[in-house]
Amino acid sequence: MEEKKYLKWYNMVGYGSGDIAGNVVYALLSSFVMIYLTNTVGLNAGVVGTLIAASKFFDGVTDVFFGAMIDKTKSRLGKARPWMLYAYIGCAVTLVAIFMIPVNLGKTAQYAWFFIAYTLLNAVFYTANNIAYSALTALVTKNSKERVQMGSYRFIFAFSTSLLIQSITVKAVSVFGGGAAGWRTIAIIYAVIGLVVNTISVLSVKELPEKELQEDENAESAQTEEKYGLIQAAKLLVCNKFYLMICGVYILQQVYTAMVNMGLYYMTYVLKNENLFGVFSWAVNIPLIIALVFTPTLVAKWKGMYQLNLRGYMLGTFGRAMVVVAGYLGSVPLMLLFTAVAALGQGPWQGDMNAVIASCSEYTYLTKKKRIDGAMYSCTSLGVKLGGGLGTAIAGWMLAASGYDGLATVQPESCMKMLHFMYLWLPMLISLVITLVLSRMNVEDTNRKLKEKIM
């Protein structure tokens, strides 16, 4: 029997556009915050990395906390939409604050300014906004195909935004006067764009009534479902092996992205052309967008997401291995080609990931008889914050250990070797580990077998 349809095409497009707002924050931070802090403000990469790592301690409980708060929220806008709407105001303010560190402050004050703004952005505002945004996938439709389509639309906007930001930001900063003033202006522009688009995204969908969300073949169990607290929500998440796998993959993905974004250093000092960073961003994002367009069709053809995700990442790992070879050959065209191959393989997981998380939430319901959709989607924010933050921190530590000096025009040989390892080897190794984890993540088949036992 065909599943009931809940959404029109414009609902899914409107929802997906919300990742424009998310990525004017994420792409700007992940791609440029380190080079802004080291080369413009003059901060030490190692100290910045340590501050970012320390900030993660404050992030530790906020993901599950906001997920549980979303699950308990009752308002005219629903559970998730009010959190998504109002939290973004804080995202915009703290994003601008990070990129307007006064250059005349003492170093200690500059480090403190960055740490406070960065921690508020990640631990509070971005967490609440991103978990709410991701949770909407399970709250506005019960149709699995529509959930996959929502994920595809979402990440098409996400990667298009990343592509645009990575392509134009360096030049735009120069156009707006360069230096601290240029970074401040571009951050303000991006923050305003994010506020407008986030509001549009919130208003483009409507959450289903809670009673309809709880309808199931086993309706009596749904009606007797127990309430849960923060600690119980955390226990339910930890007991779900697929949630732990998704968290692991998401964190690794963000570390991977952080290393690839260190390509700005690689292009500047190894390839001697910082403008190549924008060219490589096209080689990453265009294949990802193409893959996302075809993800819903491929999921239907292969009758599920497991085989598509696994085979895609096998291709992605092969592509990154060939980037290593091309890098040591010194061939930029081959590096671009295999960067595109890797991105094409990694695209399907990006498109159907939210649908996999929805299936993961269903697994908790089938095994524990409790719905924790908001808490389940904490893995998205957790992955972005821990993975992205950890990746940036590791990059800072590696740069500092290699003897990097952001105010010097020529870097030591130890730094050049480190840039090769960070940009070529680490992404390939991370892609291999993700492939191994995905090989164990067949949540759809597990849910099918559980339903057969119940019936």
- Residue type for 102, please? P
- Nearest alpha-carbon partner for 312 in 301, 298, 326: 298
From residue 4, alpha-carbon distances to 58, 138, 366 in Å are 42, 14, 21
| Low-confidence residues of the chain: pLDDT under 50 | 217-226
Which of helix, strand or coil describes residue 442?
Answer: coil
| Distance from C-alpha of 135 to C-alpha of 28, rounded to nearest angstrom | 24
| Distance from C-alpha of 404 to C-alpha of 62, rounded to nearest angstrom | 34
- So what's the pLDDT on residue 222? 42
- Yes or no: say if 371 and 365 are a contact pair by the CB < 8 Å rule: yes
- So what's the pLDDT on residue 380? 66
Half-sphere exposure of 108 (CA within 13 A, CB side): 0
- Nearest alpha-carbon partner for 150 in 134, 126, 130: 134
From residue 146, alpha-carbon distances to 31, 77, 81, 327 in Å are 31, 21, 19, 40
- So what's the pLDDT on residue 2? 66
From residue 98, alpha-carbon distances to 161, 163, 262, 276 in Å are 20, 22, 19, 26
| Distance from C-alpha of 232 to C-alpha of 371, rounded to nearest angstrom | 12
Structure tokens at 430: 């991370």
- Residue that has been written with the tokens 């500092």 in this structure: 400
Nearest-10 crossing angle of helices 426-438, 306-329: 160
Burial letters 180-214, b for 16+ CB under 10 A, else e: bebbbbbbbebbeebbebbbebbebbebbeeeebe
The backbone torsions φ and ψ at residue 60, rounded to the nearest 5 degrees and listed phi first, read -55, -40
In the DSSP assignment, the letter for residue 330 is T
- Yes or no: say if 368 and 312 are a contact pair by the CB < 8 Å rule: no
Q: Which residues contact 193 (CB under 8 A, 6 or more apart)?
A: 20, 21, 24
- Nearest alpha-carbon partner for 113 in 194, 28, 31, 41: 41
Q: Is 75 exposed, middle or buried (0-12, 13-18, 19+ CB in 10 A)?
A: exposed
Q: Is 392 left (phi over 0), alpha (psi -120 to 50) or beta?
A: alpha
**pLDDT tens string 8-25:** 888 999 999 999 999 999
